[in-house]
Structure 1
Amino acid sequence: MSEQSAPERQPLDPTAADAVRAYAASERAKTDTLASVLEDIAANGYPSPDSGVPWETARDAHLATLAGEQARVA
């Protein structure tokens, strides 16, 4: 086997590093929320269908939220 050295890394400027940290925190929060929902289902079973929101209603509300947001540049 050949030995390969790890590629050198280029540091991010402080603004980019802050943006990456903010994105990581946002993703971690989403994952924590999903994990807590799954833990609740495991402990208590599925919620009653009567207590939920129809997917069409949830979809329309989410699309309305997205339509109201400012454009983002990737």
Structure 2
Amino acid sequence: MSEQPATAPARQPLDEHAAASVRAYAADQRAKVDVLASVLEEIAANGYPSPESGVPWETACDAHLARLGDEQPRGA
């Protein structure tokens, strides 16, 4: 066994547009995680909300599907 540490493989640099896209995706994911973390912290501090104060799943699903239907189509 070798005493030398393994070297990391060389990385292929991204062009400016690809790097900007990756940064935008990372920011979007970070924002989603921050929202989830704040909800969990609120639950930890104050307990679960009462079922009466929530929105039924069917209502939330229908509203979300309606919003998706109103969006402009996007290319992949």
**Correspondences of 1:1-74 after superposition (within 5 Å):** 1-2=1-2, 3-69=5-71, 70-73=73-76
Identity of aligned residues (%): 70
Q: Give structure 1 stretches of 5+ with no counterpart.
A: none
Inter-partner Cα distance in structure 2 for 1:16 and 1:7: 20
Give the structure-2-normalised TM-score: 0.84
TM-score, length basis structure 1:
0.86
How many pairs are equivalent?
A: 73
- Structure 1's consecutive aligned runs of 4 or more residues displaced over 6 angstroms after TM superposition are none
For the pair shown, the structure with the greater C-alpha radius of gyration is 2
Deviating more after overlay: 63-72 vs 24-33: 63-72
